[in-house]
Chain A
């Protein structure tokens, strides 16, 4: 069974950093692209970033470019999202998703991030 489990969420002050992790199991992690998708309270889904199978290619939405870094450790079957210079508008639930050609075919339950002083 495919499982994606996010961790590392919490309350953080504006301007500070937070690093999310996503532990993957039940499939060959290194064979799949991975993504982070967020959902602000009472809002819809927004794609945040994607990473290729080997980690050599990364893609970001404009609002997080230069502040967020997606990475992966295929030996540990783990996806990461380093979030720096956090803003109040980054407050959201962040979902880890497995993706193939842009289709998110497996999702985690999400990690909640609140940016507030």
Chain B
């Protein structure tokens, strides 16, 4: 199985700042990485897929980069609604595997 190592585990930032979350795959997954946001009481939301393709309806302050084994989610100019949990997931092969999550908190 492809192991996904996500960092950092916790991240604190202020509205208006930019942050980056990293995800490393245990072997090459080409471009096939997705990012999701999880918030209490809301359905999980797809943000990015294929490494850098922004899902329809997601603000352009979210961006994804990387290929092979190393990927990054960047959120520019943080808004209050951006705080929550973020997960990466490889969608290159079965079994699909997720990173352990990053909790983005308000500083």
- Measured CB to CB, the nearest residue on chain A to B100 is A44
Judged by a CB distance under 8 angstroms, whether A27 is at the interface is: no
Size bin of chain B's contact surface: 20 to 34
> Nearest Cβ distance between residue B3 and chain A, in whole angstroms?
13
Q: Once the chains bind, are A47 and B99 in contact (CB under 8 Å)?
A: no
Q: Once the chains bind, are B98 and A44 in contact (CB under 8 Å)?
A: yes
Judged by a CB distance under 8 angstroms, whether B64 is at the interface is: no
Q: How far is the CA of A106 from the CA of B89 in the complex (A)?
A: 14
Q: Once the chains bind, are A95 and B95 in contact (CB under 8 Å)?
A: no
**Dominant secondary structure at the A interface:** strand
Interface size counted on chain A using CB atoms at 8 A: 21
Q: Once the chains bind, are A104 and B34 in contact (CB under 8 Å)?
A: yes
**A-chain residues with CB within 8 Å of residue B44 when the two chains form the complex:** 45, 95, 97, 104, 107
Q: Once the chains bind, are B32 and A105 in contact (CB under 8 Å)?
A: no
Q: B interface vs A, CB < 8 Å?
A: 32, 34, 36, 38, 43-46, 49-50, 55, 87, 89-92, 94-101
22 residue pairs from A and B, CB less than 8 Å apart: A44-B98, A44-B99, A44-B101, A45-B38, A45-B89, A45-B98, A47-B89, A59-B94, A97-B44, A101-B91, A102-B89, A102-B90, A102-B92, A103-B46, A103-B49, A104-B36, A104-B44, A104-B89, A105-B46, A105-B49, A106-B43, A107-B44
